[in-house]
Amino acid sequence: MQSLRRPQTFKRFASITQDPLLTLALVLVVLFVAITIVFPLLSMIGEGFSPKGLPLFQRYLSDPVHLSIVTNTLVMGALVGLFGTAVGFLFAFVQVRLNVPFKRFMHIVALIPVISPPFAVATAVIVLFGRSGSISRGIFGVRYDIYGLDGLTLVMSLSFFTVAYLNLSGMMRALDPALDEAATNLGANKWRIFRTVTLPMLLPGIASSFLLLFVEAVADLGNPLVLGGNYEVLSTRIYITVIGLYDTTGAAVLSLILLVPSLTVFIVQRYWISRTSVVSVTGKPSGTPQMMNHPLVRWPLFGLTIAICLLILLIYGTIIHGAFIRVPGVRYDFTLEHFDFVLNGIGAQAMQDTTLLSILATPLAGLIGMVIAYLVVRKTFAGRSLLDFSTMLGIAVPGTVIGIGYVLSFNHPTTLTLPVLGEVTLLPQLTGGRGLLGGALAIIVVFIIRSVPAALRSGTAALSQIDPAIEEASISLGADNARTFRRITLPLIRPAFLAGLIYAFARSMTTISAVVFLTTPQTKIMTQQILNEVEHGRYGNAFAYCVVLIVIVMVAISIMYVTVGSTTGAERRLEGGL
């Protein structure tokens, strides 16, 4: 395969303004991003730096209670980053470099946490390892206090490591085995190769996984809420500040404090680490990776991985088992009353609403992601990287922060006072029960902006693998940009599109932090209901919700595979060479 990247200068063609449709698409996505991502953030920053907010900054940053919360947040983020990356690395290494059985099984288990409803893992861990846990107390007879940093680190590492695993296994596969061969040729043994060649090459990937997990951990609300105990972090503090102290300004200030580490880490990850990467993921490996076959390396690592797999299965098994028993961890008689509650009772509306809103949000998120990816990768226009960055903010900014921003921005109609026309309503009220469509629109929009970044990333990656000449060929044969996008680009990035859709749907169904402040009488969200049940100790109902949620996500993924196309499609052809 020839080098697919032409010099930068040849990428641009037909100035973007030449095509009205392209201009329209650009204007639309820019407006969308500006209104749904940038504007709420600015409102929140405005509130934080308002005369009401400024003194709070000073108070929070000098008061030992709040300082310890900030420290807690950072320590937790770092630990989760560390352990999550370690687990991800272990799984990737075993997958790519070890010659052991059950690899397929380990791969599938590693993917399970992608569709974990919030609270599910944390609650299951309490049932298993809490002070009266069936394992800690039941088997080992210890009253272990799982609440706090240790429990959080365990649960979050297990919930988030998939990202690190996929990231690192991709990199390990892309590592040119010729390097290993060269090192072997020069007389290095395998351990030395691992230390001096493999590890340094993977370092950017490791660092970037660490940072991604850090961002994810400090933004998480569900787990600290359930498992935090007295270990308080910023996200729970923000939640409390709104729901306990009735103080949106304080919440905005805390959000800004949380925003600093999240955004810093995000920017470092995105613009520094990704640049220093030495592994070319697009290159065709010139051989098969060399396997580590030393039994003292192979079997301990294998055992550890299998142990983690079993732990994950145990946790998910507990969730499923717990949904069918009277009181998880206490009374084990079989019952279907939890499912009755979720499917026929109070929970039914939340289930329907959440599914419907996710179904509406998913294709939009996928499409918007692909269009932005197309514009950013293929077209030149002023503010291109700004558009990319602003879109990415949708996920880089913690969900609670987005939620507060929405409440601050859209709880009233957005108006503009013009000199002649007087007051003009730009946007109707979006959030709250009086908001447009009973607040459902705001929730759909939040689902979309939380999912678009992933679609954008996978779209960008897919597009940069496709020779721009293929699109130019289409144009040269008389097709316009729209037809080219539809007939050529979209089919070629279909796997990325599918990945974007799956992610969007799973994310929408399981998100809590961003929508917790946006539910309305008309629109109920499943995760919020799960939180309710967990807080009231009805674990059975919570587990039943989780099981139903997992089933819905799985069914949706299968449907998407069928309608959008499986992995036997275009990308195979693409891989086969152009």
**Footprint on residues 337-356 left by another protein (CB under 8 A):** 345-346, 353, 356
| Per CB under 8 A, 9 contacts another protein | yes
Nearer to another protein, 258 or 488 (CB): 488
Q: Is 427 in the site for another protein (CB under 8 A)?
A: no
Q: Give the DSSP H/E element, type plus range, for residue 143.
A: none
Q: Does 465 bind another protein (CB under 8 A)?
A: no
Specify the stretch interacting with another protein by CB under 8 A; choose among 76-84, 267-275, 417-425, 524-532.
524-532
Query: Is residue 429 near another protein by the rule CB under 8 A?
Result: yes
Q: H or E element: which one contains 439?
A: none
Task: Pick out residues in 148-177 that bind another protein (CB under 8 A).
Answer: none
> What is the rounded distance in angstroms from the CA atom of residue 24 to the CA atom of residue 243?
41
Question: What is the Cα–Cα distance from 420 to 543, expressed in whole angstroms?
Answer: 58
Instruction: Determine the Cα–Cα distance for residues 515 and 172; give it in Å rounded to an integer.
Output: 37
Q: What CA–CA distance (Å, rounded) separates 531 from 537?
A: 10
Residue 554 near another protein by CB under 8 A: no
Q: Answer for the pair 409, 415: CB distance below 8 angstroms, yes or no.
A: no
327 forms part of the interface with another protein (CB under 8 A): yes
Give, as ranges, the residues between 260 and 299 that touch another protein (CB under 8 A). none
Stretch that binds another protein, among 114-122, 205-213, 507-515, 521-529 (CB under 8 A): 521-529
Q: List the Cα angle 275/280/283 in 5-degree steps.
A: 155
Asked if residue 137 binds another protein (CB under 8 A), the reply is yes
Q: Where are the alpha helices (DSSP H) in 130-247?
A: 149-174, 177-185, 190-193, 199-219, 222-227, 234-243
User: Which residue number, 452 or 516, has a Cβ lying nearer to another protein?
Assistant: 516
Binder among 5, 12, 192, 195 for another protein (CB under 8 A): 12
Asked whether position 428 contacts another protein by CB under 8 A, the answer is: no
Would you say 208 or 519 has its CB closer to another protein?
519
Asked if 240 interacts with another protein (CB under 8 A), we say: yes
Regarding 242 and contact with another protein (CB under 8 A), the answer is yes
* Separation between Cα atoms, residue 540 and residue 547, nearest integer Å: 10
Instruction: Kindly identify the residues of this chain, within the stretch 97-126, that bind another protein according to CB under 8 A.
Output: 126
Helix (H, G, I), strand (E, B) or coil at 186: coil
- Tell me how far, at minimum, the Cβ of 373 lies from another protein, in Å: 18
Cβ atoms of residues 357 and 444 within 8 Å: yes
Q: Are 153 and 76 in contact (CB under 8 A)?
A: yes
Residues 64-83 that bind another protein (CB under 8 A): 64-65, 68
Distance of alpha carbon 73 from alpha carbon 94, whole angstroms: 31
Q: Does 519 bind another protein (CB under 8 A)?
A: yes
**Separation CA 217–CA 21 (nearest Å):** 40
Q: Beta 422-427 vs 331-334: how paired, if at all?
A: unpaired
Among 520, 530, 549, 550, binds another protein (CB under 8 A): 520
How many residues interact with another protein (rule CB under 8 A)?
95
Taking the CA atoms of residue 240, residue 245, residue 248 and residue 252 in that order, the dihedral angle to the nearest 10 degrees is -50
Tell the smallest beta-carbon distance from residue 58 to another protein (Å). Answer: 15
The interface region with another protein, picked from 75-83, 414-422, 480-488, 497-505 by CB under 8 A, is: 480-488
Instruction: List CB contacts of 203: < 8 A, sequence separation 6 or more.
Output: none
Q: Is residue 226 within 8 Å of 126, Cβ to Cβ?
A: yes
Task: Considering only the stretches 46-54, 173-181, 257-265, 465-473, report the one whose residues sit in contact with another protein under the rule CB under 8 A.
Answer: 465-473
Query: Which pair of structure tokens corresponds to residue 529?
Result: 């209901």
Q: What angle do CA 262, 153, 87 make, to 5 degrees?
A: 95
Q: Which stretch binds another protein (CB under 8 A): 35-43, 314-322, 324-332, 369-377?
A: 324-332
Which range, of 100-108, 272-280, 369-377, 485-493, touches another protein by CB under 8 A? Answer: 485-493
Closest CB 11 distance from another protein, rounded Å? 10
Q: Is 538 in the site for another protein (CB under 8 A)?
A: yes
Q: Which one of residues 99, 132, 282, 425 is an interface residue with another protein (CB under 8 A)?
A: 132
Q: What tokens appear for 253 in the block? A: 């200030």
The residue length of the chain stands at: 578
Interface mask toward another protein for 197-236; x: CB under 8 A: ----------------------------x---xx-----x
